[in-house]
Every structure is written in structure tokens, then in C-alpha cells.
Amino acid sequence: MTADGLTAEQIVTFDLSEAKPRELNAVLHDPDITSATYRVINPGGRHSIAVGAVAPVSVDIDGHAGYYCAGMNQLAHVRVRGNAGTGVAENMMSGTVVVEGDASQSAGATARGGLLVIEGSASARCGISLKGADIVVRGSIGHMSAFMAQTGRIVVCGDVGEALGDSLYEARIYVRGSVKSLGADCVEKPMREEHVAEVAELLQRAGIDDQDTADFRRYGSARSLYHFNVDDAQAY
């Protein structure tokens, strides 16, 4: 028995030193998918691991993943026991993706639903053009994060690089550490009770229980660039 209560027979293992991501992805797209847990060993930084999953299965990747791991994920629970390359969980629709290590650029880009948890840090453009998903980062995130983020929520327990939330729409951003600079039209907003509760809920869903929600600050759109005005031209 495993920690999940599954027997070894119920866990399907893909060894990417022998198999290709194609074989795993084909199984994850099968409408009649039955096995509850897939284990990926020797991922070796391969790209497009577990992309386009369609069912609420678990995919456990034992090592580092390359670009677009869990891209466009629907319903599946994907865990990377290592680092993830560019665009992890890009355009995710639902489900959860957890990266135990660090994530490269554009983590959660354009993601529309579900939860992305990065237990390490994320590089530049984390949550770029976010469209409804939630992202929780235990570490720090890089520059131009949440650029043009539309909806959804981002919680960062560490620090943030330059130009956070540039040209932001309606996404909400919570940061515990320092913010090097805010992008155009991104402003700090007061933390009201509902925002504290929102941070608590997201941290809890991410399995992070050692942060004080009172330490977080909220950032959002000033909405001053919502209608083009020539007098704002210098803001761009």
C-alpha cells in the first residue's frame, strides 16, 4: 500500500528514460481513463509532460520537468517533485499543479482555473495574462509578473521583482515580502477583512500553514488605463 491507500497495481508508472511523454499524454487524454495515479520517473527535464489531461487523476512526477508541464490541465492533480521549466500549468483550466522546487518563466501563464502552487520560487512573468486561476508561491517571483493579468489571484510569500502587475486588469495580488516596483496602473490597496480571509483560504489550499496573513499586502489595478486617454501616454 502507498500513502494514498492505493495498491502498487493501481499505480501506473512511466519511465521517461524509456518511454516518451507521448505515451503518458495519450493515456491522460483517454476518455475511458481508469487508473487513479500515474507516476513518472526519470522525467529528465522532458517538455510537455502531462499536458492536456482531462480527468481527475493524480500524476506524480519524480524529478525535474521541462517546458509546459501540465499545460492546459483539466481536473488532474499534478505534482512535480523537482523544478519545472517555462510555462508550467500554462492555460490550466482546473485541477491542481504543485511544483515542489522552483519554476521558470511564465508559470501559470494565461491559466483560467485551478490552483498552481510553487513551493520554491518562480522566475519572471509569473501569472502573465492570468485569466482566473489561483497561484500561490511560497518563495519569490521575478519581474513583470502578473503582466496584463485579467482575473484570478496570486499569493506570494516572498519578494517580487520589478514591474509587478503592469497593465493589470482585475486580478488580485497579495505579497508578504518586498515589491521592487509596481508596473503601470498597479497600485497597493487596503487589506480588508475579506482579503485577509482570501489569503488564508488560498494558503490553506496550498498547504502552507506557517504564514501570518496579517503580513500580506494587496495590489490591484487602479483602472486608470481602462479607456485609452492620450494624457496617459507617458504611463506606457
Binding site for another protein (CB under 8 A): 21-22, 25-26, 29, 47-48, 51-52, 54, 66-68, 71-72, 74, 86-87, 90-91, 93, 105-106, 109-110, 112, 125, 128-129, 131-132, 147-148, 150-151, 167, 169-170, 225-228, 230
| Distance in Å, CB of 195 to another protein, minimum | 19
How far apart CA 26 and CA 143 sit, in angstroms, is 35
| Distance in Å, CB of 120 to another protein, minimum | 19
The separation between the first and the last C-alpha atoms of the chain, rounded to the nearest angstrom, is 57
| Distance in Å, CB of 202 to another protein, minimum | 19
Closer CB to another protein, 6 or 75, in the complex: 75
Closer CB to another protein, 25 or 37, in the complex: 25
How far apart CA 116 and CA 80 sit, in angstroms, is 11
Q: Give the number of other CB atoms < 10 A from CB of residue 227.
A: 7
Closer CB to another protein, 46 or 176, in the complex: 46
Closer CB to another protein, 117 or 148, in the complex: 148
Closer CB to another protein, 58 or 129, in the complex: 129
Chain-centroid distance of CA 83 in Å reads 13
Q: Residue 177: which of 141, 132, 126, 127 has the closest Cα? A: 141
What is the biggest distance separating any 2 CA atoms in the chain, rounded to whole angstroms? 66
| Distance in Å, CB of 32 to another protein, minimum | 15
What dihedral angle (degrees, nearest 10) is formed by the CA atoms of 116, 118, 123, 124? Answer: 30
